[in-house]
Amino acid sequence: MVLLDRLGVERAHVIGWSMGGTIGLHLAVGHPERVGKLVLQGTPYHRDGLDDGFREWFRAAAPGDWSHEAIDFYKANAPDPGHWDVFFGKLRDMVMTEPTFTEADLARVRAPTLVVYGREKTVIRPAHMEAMARAILVAKTRGDRRDRSPRVQGAARRVQQGCHGIPGAVGCKPCTLV
């Protein structure tokens, strides 16, 4: 909120992938009046949404087990490149303990929301993502707050058709617009 306030931004559209989506959820749940639209891509709302295999791998992983590309990126961009091991430990602790949103928390999201996730080769269980989309949708359809404009409804139809025909979109499941 401090960044938005310092920039003089009253309301922002938020797009987040993975942990970036968790930041978007924090904004949308805690300050719904400040979020115009929300896109969550591969974002768990609770730590229990992680795939069990990924969770076990990450819990046992050592700092050197991460991809060399990620380690090199960190070392090239971090203020203190020698702290990769400390950073990795903090990252692992965070992934094992957060986020902890409930479906009641998700019901406070008021922004039009697009939930995007993969069906295959993903670290977040698809059923978890579907539960998040449903929780947001159920809350938003009470009182029929959905945007029924032709532009939004047309976008929803295109999104629901999925990503077939997009290069590299293997095993893609249609997105959910709520």
Q: 8's torsion region: left (phi>0), alpha (psi -120 to 50) or beta?
A: left
pLDDT value at residue 32: 94
Model confidence at 177: pLDDT above 70 = no
Q: Which residue has the tokens 């409930």?
A: 102
What pLDDT, on a 0 to 100 scale, did the predictor assign at position 1? 86
Task: Look over the chain and give the mean of its residue pLDDT values, rounded to a whole number.
Answer: 82
Q: If you count them, how many residues does the chain have?
A: 178
Of 113 and 149, which is predicted with more confidence? 113
No. of helices (H) and no. of strands (E), the chain:
8, 4
What is the secondary structure of 20-36 as a DSSP string?
HHHHHHHHHHH-GGGEE
- Of 101, 122, 115, 92, nearest in space to 45 by CA: 101
Residue 136: its pLDDT value, please?
Answer: 87
Query: What mean pLDDT do residues 15-31 have?
Result: 94
Higher-confidence position of 119 and 149: 119
Domain ranges of the chain: 2-46+99-177, 52-98
Contact 44, 115 (CB under 8 A): no
Read off the amino acid at residue 124. I
- Tell me how far apart the alpha carbons of residues 128 and 116 are, in angstroms, rounded to a whole number: 12
| pTM confidence score | 0.74
- Cα–Cα distance, 40 to 42 (Å, whole number): 7
pLDDT band at 140 (very low <50, low <70, confident <90, very high): low
CATH no. for 2-46+99-177: 3.40.50.1820
User: 29-47, pLDDT tens digit by residue?
Assistant: 999 999 999 999 999 999 9
Model pLDDT for residues 72-97, shown as the tens digit of each residue: 999 999 999 999 999 999 999 999 99
User: pLDDT tens digit string along 158-174?
Assistant: 444 444 443 333 344 44
Instruction: Find the mean pLDDT for residues 10-25.
Output: 94
The pLDDT of residue 47 is 95
- Phi and psi at residue 72, to the nearest 5°: -65, -40
Beta strands in the chain (DSSP E): 12-17, 35-41, 113-116, 176-177
Q: How confident is the model at residue 121 (pLDDT cuts 50, 70, 90)?
A: confident
Structure tokens at 131: 């539960």
pLDDT at 76: 95
